[in-house]
Amino acid sequence: MNNNKNKAIELKIIFAGTSPLAKDILEELVKNEYNIIAAMTQPDKKVGRKQEIIPNTVKTFCQEKNIDILQPEKIDAEFVQKIKDLKPDLVIVAAYGKILPQAFLDIPGFGCINVHTSLLPKLRGPSPIQNALLLGKTKTGVTIMLMDAGVDTGDVLTRFEVKIDSNDTTPTLSEKLSRHGAELLIKTIPLWINKQIEPEKQNNSHATLCQLIEKNDGKILWNETAQEIYNKFRAFYSWPGIFCFWSDGEKGSIKRIKLTDISIEESLGSEKRHLGEVFKSNESLCVQTASGIIVIKKLQLEGKSEMDALSFTNGYPNFIGSILK
């Protein structure tokens, strides 16, 4: 083991993160024997239909590894003092979900460094993975940056570019970025503490911001192209999913339908169809968009179980020919 690594291990590190991606990065730090004196993660929340309180993956991992857990409701003066008393040398942040005030950022001697899942200054903000997919990007990456009071505006330490495959979804791209992010962080820490990296200012003229993802963003707009709808499906695959509304002609009710597996076709013949019109082609269940066709493979009627397209149309034959909204 070299001196750089020994010096790195002696650091007193506080980790801050909440998501599964953050857990993967924390796990890599532990594997590499870094001294994690505490981990900050967001307070427990009620989840699911039963509104059960389930600890997030970071908290669960910390419990398994006997790492002290901090779950502040807010980063106030009292909590800042608590962190000062711990005397961390370095704070590492990954998808924590709370803004850290300057008084907090000023505590560790080596600063607070953030693992951000985009190639900064592109896609600053809380949902860079979803936004990269929404925009149809073919590449993204990971940036290790020094934190300042702005939102992802700090100086860059290192970057790593990652290819986005055409069938990547938020979960698959998150897995790629968490793996590469963890590897990049492990390489970056010794370089940073041994002053072998010169921080690089971000070019603010090239900066872009993320769209904040909300539940209703999954609503399908059939006047968009098939590719735009498919990108939305990829981005919202884990949450909130994509959905539309169907007026059941027989019962006169409007039902919410979630499309859980889809693909796209450029076109199917020259027949004129309405936007959102459902039709069959070669046993495939299709929907017309502004440009191109959405092929529905699986869908879920609100309050019902997920079904494949054939089973659904057998049960609801009047779905074919209807206009989805």
Distance (Å, whole) CA 42 – CA 53: 13
Q: Are residues 219 and 247 in the same domain?
A: yes
Does residue 203 sit in helix, strand or coil? coil
Q: Work out how many domains the chain is built from and give that number.
A: 2
State the residue range of the domain holding 239: 215-319
- Helices 170-193 and 20-31: angle between axes, nearest 10 degrees: 40
CA 73 to chain centre: 22
Last residue of a domain, which of 169, 184, 206? 206
Specify if 123 maps to a domain.
yes
Q: What is the CATH number of the domain that holds 201?
A: 3.40.50.170
Q: Are 188 and 219 part of one and the same domain?
A: no
Q: Are residues 291 and 173 in the same domain?
A: no
Q: Which two tokens stand for residue 97?
A: 């979900």
Q: Are residues 185 and 268 in the same domain?
A: no
Residue 24 lies in a domain: yes
Asked if 235 and 282 sit in the same domain, the reply is yes
Q: Is residue 262 part of a domain?
A: yes
- Assess if residue 297 is contained within a domain: yes
pLDDT in tens, the chain (325 residues): 444 454 556 899 999 999 999 999 999 999 999 999 999 999 988 776 677 788 899 999 999 999 999 999 999 999 999 999 999 999 999 999 899 999 999 999 999 999 999 999 999 999 999 999 999 999 999 999 999 989 999 999 999 999 999 999 999 999 999 999 999 999 999 999 999 999 999 999 999 999 889 999 999 999 999 999 999 999 999 899 999 999 876 666 899 999 999 999 887 666 789 999 999 988 899 999 999 999 999 999 998 999 999 999 999 999 999 999 9
Domain final position from 182, 206, 230 = 206
Nearest CA to 176 among 144, 132, 141, 145? Answer: 141
- Judgement on whether residues 46 and 177 belong to the same structural domain of the protein: yes
Q: Which residues pair with 160 in a beta bridge?
A: 142
Helix (DSSP H) and strand (DSSP E) numbers for the chain: 9, 15
Q: Alpha carbon 33 to chain centroid distance?
A: 27
Whether 116 is in a domain gets the answer yes
The model carries a pTM of 0.91
Burial class (CB in 10 A: 0-12, 13-18, 19+), 49: exposed
User: Is residue 231 assigned to a domain?
Assistant: yes
What is the amino acid identity at position 249? Answer: G
Flag whether 324 is in a domain.
Answer: no
In this structure, are residues 260 and 272 in contact, taking their beta carbons and an 8 Å threshold? Answer: no
Is residue 68 in a domain?
Answer: yes
Domain end marker among 188, 206, 224 = 206
